Amino acid sequence: MITNTIKYYAKKRIFSIFLAFVTLLFSNILPAQTGMGIKTVVIDPGHGGKDPGAIGTNKVKEKDVVLAVSLKLGELIKKNYPGVKVIYTRSTDDFIGLAERATVANKAKADLFISIHSNVAGNSSARGFEAWVLGLHKSEAALNVAKLENSSILMEDGHTSKYEAFDPSDPDAYIGLSMRQNVFLDQSLMFADQIVKDAVNTIHVKSRGVKQAGFVVLYRTTMPAVLIELGFLSNAEEEKFLGNKEGQTKLATTIFNSFSKYKARRDKVDGIISTPKIIEAPQEKETVEAETNTSGTKSTIKFRVQIATSKNKVETKSYNFKGMNDVDMYISGKFYKYIVGNYETVEEAKKRLSSVKEKGYTSAFIIAFENGERISVKEAIAKTK
């Protein structure tokens, strides 16, 4: 038993010495993009194949979410920056080892590595967007996130020899990983900070900030590298957003815009004049929510009266809307909008508008839908004549 213990700690010491050597080796290497601008980006959708990653309450799988966002992000980069080569560590539902992911980036001599993940927590109220760079964890929570993502190692064949004596569940093993953090840290932090700021400002998610921890997939890369946690699949609201195509498009667009700003800053450092290309995510069509309390089938054109708008969802109960029992709700962007009535002519809608204004909804107005999708009142009137 004593002999085995000595061997165990000897291996750990050798592992730490090895990492220290690697640190010294790479500390003399300039970033790949110096004098060239950003020419190659590697996008790394986490997990895949036999490793589903986090699984939400409604069975949304991390591996599916991050692959969808990664592919959308890659297409945006290729479309807007034809001169930038985009490489995926996986573009299908395949299991790829952590070491192999980093090898793909290193062989390509990439200028940036973007690893995309989604989170999970025992507390279903946990939510938010965060970005990680390589470093020594500063909290138990940060260590747990690193352990969770690094646990993929255990699914790899021959992981014991491939990762030396590294044990993803051992807190001491992460000390060695932090030795690599200073080589590309400034650039990684620059990109990570931009991503979090843009996510908060454009898609209005909760910021969990920029953090550091010992992610194996980051420590093996030889370029600026960031790991993104898009949100929590264990949170019902965020799971719905992450599993939705519109949500995935918004996330990919936000990360692209952050990349564009980062690229412009890096290009400037490398003596290249560059302007960031900022794009907007396609907006969802404004449609009436399926779960309404209005009975009957809808005709092609319907006139309704909008009475309120809120950032928070309110139950469509009569006591919340001054006794009105025909309130429906639809979503537009980040707002919940509340409507009453369901009329085939604008004249009927006008009468209802007068009555709701008498109830105190003085800013109410008429809107129109065709087959459940919002159209202009003018267009609706023309189609009903």
pLDDT tens sequence across 224-257: 999 999 999 999 999 999 999 999 999 999 999 9
Q: Where are the alpha helices (DSSP H) in the chain?
A: 2-26, 62-80, 98-107, 140-150, 159-162, 173-177, 185-202, 216-219, 236-243, 245-269, 346-358, 377-384
Query: What is the structure's pLDDT at 138?
Result: 41
Average pLDDT over residues 180-186: 65
Closest CA to 104 of 260, 223, 184: 223
Mean pLDDT over each residue of the chain, to the nearest integer? 78
Residue type, 241: F
Give the integer Cα–Cα distance in Å for 187 and 33.
Answer: 11
Note the pLDDT tens digit of each residue in 88-104: 999 999 988 877 888 89
* Residue ranges, CATH 3.30.70.1070, the chain: 287-384
pLDDT at 2 over 60: no
Two tokens, residue 208: 């969990």
Give the integer Cα–Cα distance in Å for 347 and 211.
Answer: 58
Q: What are phi and psi of 310, to 5 degrees?
A: -145, 145
What is the CATH topology of the domain spanning 2-269? Aminopeptidase (3.40.630)
Give the pLDDT band of residue 109 (cuts 50, 70, 90): very high
Alpha carbons within 13 angstroms on the beta-carbon side of residue 94 total: 11
High-pLDDT (> 90) share of the chain, %: 41
Residue 215 and residue 192 in contact, taking contact as beta carbons nearer than 8 Å = no
Give the pLDDT band of residue 287 (cuts 50, 70, 90): low
Give the integer Cα–Cα distance in Å for 110 and 40.
Answer: 5
Q: Specify the 3-state DSSP secondary structure of 132.
A: strand
Two tokens, residue 197: 């700021």
Give the integer Cα–Cα distance in Å for 327 and 139.
Answer: 47
| pTM: predicted TM-score of the whole model, two decimal places | 0.61
Give the integer Cα–Cα distance in Å for 6 and 1.
Answer: 9
Note the pLDDT tens digit of each residue in 117-127: 999 988 999 99
Give the integer Cα–Cα distance in Å for 239 and 231.
Answer: 8
pLDDT at 191 over 60: yes
Of these ranges, 10-19, 99-108, 223-232, 373-382, the one predicted with the greatest mean pLDDT is 223-232
Note the pLDDT tens digit of each residue in 139-171: 344 445 444 444 444 444 544 444 444 444 444
Query: What is the structure's pLDDT at 91?
Result: 96
Give the integer Cα–Cα distance in Å for 119 and 232.
Answer: 4
Query: What is the structure's pLDDT at 335?
Result: 78
Q: In what order do the strands lie in the sheet with 112-119?
A: 85-88, 40-45, 112-119, 225-232, 129-134, 207-213
High-pLDDT (> 70) share of the chain, %: 71
Task: Say which residue, 35 or 340, is predicted with more confidence.
Answer: 340
Query: What is the structure's pLDDT at 273?
Result: 66
Domain 287-384 grouped into CATH 3.30.70.1070 = yes
Average pLDDT over residues 259-272: 84
* Residue ranges, CATH 3.40.630.40, the chain: 2-269
